[in-house]
Each structure stands twice: as C-alpha cells, then as structure tokens.
Amino acid sequence: MNDQSHNDETLSWQIQQAIDRICDQFEAAWRDGPKPNLEAYLKESPSGCIKELFRELLELEFHWRRKQDETFSTKDYHIRFPEYSLLIDEVFSNVHKESGETFVNPSRESVSGIDWLGCSLLGK
C-alpha cells in the first residue's frame, strides 16, 4: 500500500467517525430532548462531506418524527434545503419502502402520517 492510499483510507475513516459522532449526538437529542435542529448539526460537517451527513441526519429525523407519531411534510424540507431536493425524495422513498407503508389520500389535505407531494403515508 502506498502512502497516498493509506492517507486516503485514514481520512475516510476519520470522516466516517466524525459523521457517526454527529449522528449519535443528533439521535441522543431526539431521544432525550429537546428536539434537535438539523441545520445546527449540518454546520459540524467534516469538510466536503455535508451531503453524506445530511442523508444520515435526514434518515434519523424521519425515523424519530415517525416514531413520535408526528405528521410532517417533505415540502418543509424542500423549502429549507432546496439544494438537496432529490436527496430528500430519495431518503423519503427509502423510508417508505422499508416501512412497507402505502400511499393514500392523493389530495393536498393533511392526514396523519407523512405528507409527500400531497400524498400521505399511513401504515398498512
């Protein structure tokens, strides 16, 4: 292994460790309160890794909001984070697939569950 390859692996490991630490703190705040501010945790991102951190924090936030039976809309995230619109939709889609939930209510009315582009997610 050459020195550059070793340095890249070490840096990659250090970045992942930093992301894991930030995510652990974010999850602890959700668990113990008060509810964390996603933007504040993004400011702690290691250089050049904000997209990876955003994905992981968003997955955690969707998990905790659903666990606490909160109704929320991805539209709010699109407004707050327009540069990550595709990523927001991707994370939401993955959460949807993993949960085995079904889209219902194609109107724009709010329904208990998660509202996504005018559709709400409810358990089977």
Query: In this predicted structure, what is the pLDDT of residue 73?
Result: 80
Q: Please state the pTM of the whole predicted model.
A: 0.72
The stretches in the chain having pLDDT less than 70 are 1-11, 96, 98-124
Query: In this predicted structure, what is the pLDDT of residue 99?
Result: 65
Q: Could you give the C-alpha distances from 46 to 21, 57, 67, in angstroms and in order? A: 11, 14, 28
Structure tokens at 124: 């089977």
| Beta bridge partner(s), residue 41 | none
Q: How far is residue 60's CA from residue 94's CA, in Å, rounded to a whole number?
A: 12
Render pLDDT for 28-41 as a digit per residue (tens, 0 to 9).
Answer: 999 999 999 999 99
